[in-house]
Structure 1
Amino acid sequence: MRKYLNTLFVTTQGAYLSKEGETIAVKIEQKIRLRIPIHTLAGIVCFGAVSCSPYLMGFCSENDVSISFLTKYGRFLAMVKGPVSGNVLLRRKQFRMADCKKTSAQMAGFILTGKLANCRTVLERSLRDHKDKMDKETVKKVAGRLLIYIQKELQKDDLDRLRGIEGDAAHQYFRVFNQLILAQEKTFSFSGRNRRPPTDRINCLLSFVYTLLVHDVRSGLESVGLDPSVGFLHRDRPGRPGLALDMMEEFRPFLADRLVLSMINRN
Structure 2
Amino acid sequence: MKEILNTLYVTTERAYLHLDHDTIRMEAKETKLVQMPLIHLSSIVCFGNILLSPALIHRCAEDGRTIVLLDTHGHFKARIEGPTSGNVLLRQAQYVANSDQTRAFSIARNIVAGKVQNCRQVLMRAYRETENDKDRHVLAAAAIVHANVLKRLEHYTLIEAVRGSEGDAARAYFGAFDSMVREDRTVFTLNGRTRRPPLDRVNALLSFVYTLLRHDCAGALQGVGLDPQVGYLHVLRPGRPALALDLMEELRPIVADRLILSLINRCQIQRDDFIEREGGAIHLTEKARKVVIQAYQNRKQNEVQHRVLSKKIPIGLLPHVQARLLARHLRGDVPDYLPFLYR
Q: Same fold (TM over 0.5)?
A: yes
User: Is 1:114–1:250's contact at 8 Å kept on the other side of the alignment?
Assistant: yes
Inter-CA distance 256–226: structure 2 relative to 1 (3 Å threshold) = same
> TM-score by structure 2 length?
0.75
CA distance in 1 between partners of 2:5 and 2:188 (Å)? 29
User: Is 1:178–1:191's contact at 8 Å kept on the other side of the alignment?
Assistant: no
The one-letter amino acid of 1:91's match is: R
Pairwise CA RMSD: 1.4
Q: CA deviation at 1:256?
A: 0.7
1:23-172 to 2 correspondences below 5 Å: 23-132=23-132, 134-172=134-172
CA distance in 2 between partners of 1:137 and 1:177 (Å)? 13
User: Is 1:38–1:63's contact at 8 Å kept on the other side of the alignment?
Assistant: no
SS of the aligned residue for 1:68 comes to strand
Moved beyond 3 Å, runs of 4+:
none
Q: CA deviation at 1:148?
A: 1.8
The one-letter amino acid of 1:40's match is: H
Q: What 5-or-longer segments of structure 1 have no aligned partner?
A: none
Q: What 5-or-longer segments of structure 2 have no aligned partner?
A: 268-343
Q: Which shows bigger deviation, 26-35 or 143-152? A: 143-152
User: Is 1:18–1:55's contact at 8 Å kept on the other side of the alignment?
Assistant: yes
CA deviations on 1:114-143 (whole Å, 9 max, x unpaired) are: 101110011111111124375211210110
SS of the aligned residue for 1:42 comes to strand
The one-letter amino acid of 1:239's match is: G
The one-letter amino acid of 1:59's match is: R
> TM-score by structure 1 length?
0.96
CA deviations on 1:2-35 (whole Å, 9 max, x unpaired) are: xx96111111101011001111111111111111
CA distance in 2 between partners of 1:70 and 1:82 (Å)? 19
User: Is 1:119–1:173's contact at 8 Å kept on the other side of the alignment?
Assistant: yes
SS of the aligned residue for 2:132 comes to helix
CA distance in 1 between partners of 2:143 and 2:36 (Å)? 44
User: Is 2:16–2:27's contact at 8 Å kept on the other side of the alignment?
Assistant: yes
CA deviations on 1:57-90 (whole Å, 9 max, x unpaired) are: 1111111211111110111100101122211111
Q: CA deviation at 1:151?
A: 2.8
Are residue 250 (structure 1) and residue 250 (structure 2) matched?
A: yes
User: Is 1:115–1:249's contact at 8 Å kept on the other side of the alignment?
Assistant: yes
User: Is 2:42–2:65's contact at 8 Å kept on the other side of the alignment?
Assistant: yes
